[in-house]
Amino acid sequence: MGLSAADLSLLFDTSDFPARWTCGNWSSVHGWFHILSDIAIAGAYSMIPLALALYWWFKRAELAFPRLFWLFAAFIFSCGATHLVDAIIFYAPVYRFSAVMKFTTAVVSWATVLALFRVAPKALELPGLRRVNVQLQDQLAKTRQAEEALARSNVELEAFTGIVTHDLRNPLNNALFMAEMAQEAAARGDSDRGASHLRAALDSLKQMEALIAELHASSKVFGKVEEMENLSLGSLVEVATRNLTPLIESSEAKLKVGPLPEIRGNRTMLVQLFINLFENSIKYRGKEPLVIGIEAVGKAGGTVIRVTDTGPGIPHEQIDQVFESGIRGNNSNSIPGSGLGLAFCRRIMEAHGGTISASNPPEGGVAIELRFGG
């Protein structure tokens, strides 16, 4: 059964009650304090559900407990309605309607309490806003680290590709040159010289094969060298010189090799180290005849090998940069090159626990110091 019009009119019947102004001895200040306070509370309680409704509209897909959300809105609105009725009673004593509103507020209030007790365990399992923010910051940091690692990997891959093309060229060119020389010797019937050229070509091919194996195991190039043995630096320089025979002969460069000690290291990488240093000196030589010197320098703290040349030197402002990938001296002009040779030398030295540095000595040219650990 629904409420009839008579029932509804009875709720607003004021004939049985006097207005609150007439009950007791109200002063104007006291009465208006009550009225204005109730109206202000009712207004605020009405705006809160409106704000909640707007929030629900924009965030409804993200709310974990939407029903509880609306229950809170109904609870707050009904509380505000009771205050509004209390203000009205000062002039229209609708006490019956006030009782209904208070009963409604009580029901909604207890429904909210029961809903809270039911939802609370699930709500406590949800991460707090601060924790979510911390987790988000951690995830962003990990994402940035992953992006930086990927960028470094791309740079390393580019450098590795450049090293492959750069450092396989010399032994291949030398093998081709020696094979052509052997062919010419065979045509002249000079079997001894032909055999010598073929041995040199074979040495270059072996160097290229060993270098390919080392480059394939990139951790040995860019990290710690594992296959170490006691080596004569003099023999390594000799192998590097043979691999550069065509370049040395065409440039008319002279090598002066002093007594060199033994060192513990990786044969393929150290041969490539001297190949790169010699090739760099020859490539950037000046107009005067080029002389390359290799000697051991007596310094404390390890073995130091000094490689010098009589070329134009490195611009002073770039001394500390030439060992970076892709960096070339300002005086390189139109000389072809990738800027990877000295960068690879630095990697080889680091893999052997050593360092490499460059300087322009007073007598001219360039001095490269290779400092191996003790």
- Residue 332, pLDDT > 70, answer no
Inform me whether the pLDDT recorded for 309 exceeds 90. yes
Give CA–CA dist 161/159, Å, rounded: 5
Instruction: Say yes or no to pLDDT of 233 above 60.
Output: yes
CA distance 176 to 185: 14
pLDDT band with cut points at 50, 70 and 90 for residue 234:
very high
CATH number of this structure's domain 217-372, picked from the four choices 3.20.20.100, 3.30.565.10, 3.30.1330.100, 3.40.50.1000:
3.30.565.10
CA end-to-end span of the chain, whole Å? 102
Encode pLDDT of 263-292 as tens digits: 888 888 898 899 889 988 888 888 888 999
57, 105, 107, 115 from 119: Cα distances, Å: 22, 21, 18, 6
Residues 6+ apart with CB under 8 A from 26: 20
Residue type, 7: D
User: Higher pLDDT residue, 335 or 359?
Assistant: 359
Band (pLDDT 50/70/90 cuts) for residue 224 is low
pLDDT at 292: 93
212 pLDDT more than 90? no
The two most distant CA atoms of the chain are separated, in Å, by 140
340 within 8 A of 326, measured Cβ to Cβ: yes
pLDDT at residue 188 tops 80: yes
The residue-averaged pLDDT of 357-361 equals 89
Where exactly are the structural domains of the chain? 5-125, 217-372
